[in-house]
Amino acid sequence: GDSVTQMEGPVTLSEEAFLTINCTYTATGYPSLFWYVQYPGEGLQLLLKATKADDKGSNKGFEATYRKETTSFHLEKGSVQVSDSAVYFCASNSGYALNFGKGTSLLVTP
């Protein structure tokens, strides 16, 4: 079945460092791809999404490009802030529901 694999954390970065969180997917069709973020004590929030190959989702300085040839949707940010500390989940849709990766915890230190 469809699945999502993302890099294991935790990831610890200094403020203003470059961030990459890898995500790859397997799917029988052409899923939409998502990144969700969960800040401490809060629910999951949609960060960005892409619905077809070569689409780039972007929000709050984060970007991810839907790469069909490598079945990837890596999350990047050029300069992270302390407030970006959270758990990030990559997900693909399987009809209505979502398939999630295991989550990657990010800690940004001042």
Partner 1 sequence: GAVVSQHPSRVICKSGTSVKIECRSLDFQATTMFWYRQFPKQSLMLMATSNEGSKATYEQGVEKDKFLINHASLTLSTLTVTSAHPEDSSFYICSAAQGIATNEKLFFGSGTQLSVL
Least Cβ distance, residue 88 to partner 1 (angstroms): 13
Bin 82: left if φ > 0, else alpha if -120 < ψ < 50, else beta: alpha
Task: For residues 97 and 110, give the distance between their C-alpha atoms in angstroms, rounded to a whole number.
Answer: 37
**Distance in Å, CB of 67 to partner 1, minimum:** 19
Structure tokens at 15: 């403020």
Among 36, 62, 66, 73, binds partner 1 (CB under 8 A): 36
What size, in residues, is the chain?
110
By CB under 8 A, the count of residues binding partner 1 is 21
Min dist. Cβ of residue 31 to partner 1 (A): 10
> Would you call the peptide bond into 10 cis, given omega within 30 degrees of 0 as the criterion?
yes
23: which DSSP letter?
E
Is 97 among the residues that bind partner 1 (CB under 8 A)?
Answer: yes
Site residues, partner 1 (CB under 8 A):
4, 32, 34, 36, 41-46, 49, 89, 93, 96-103
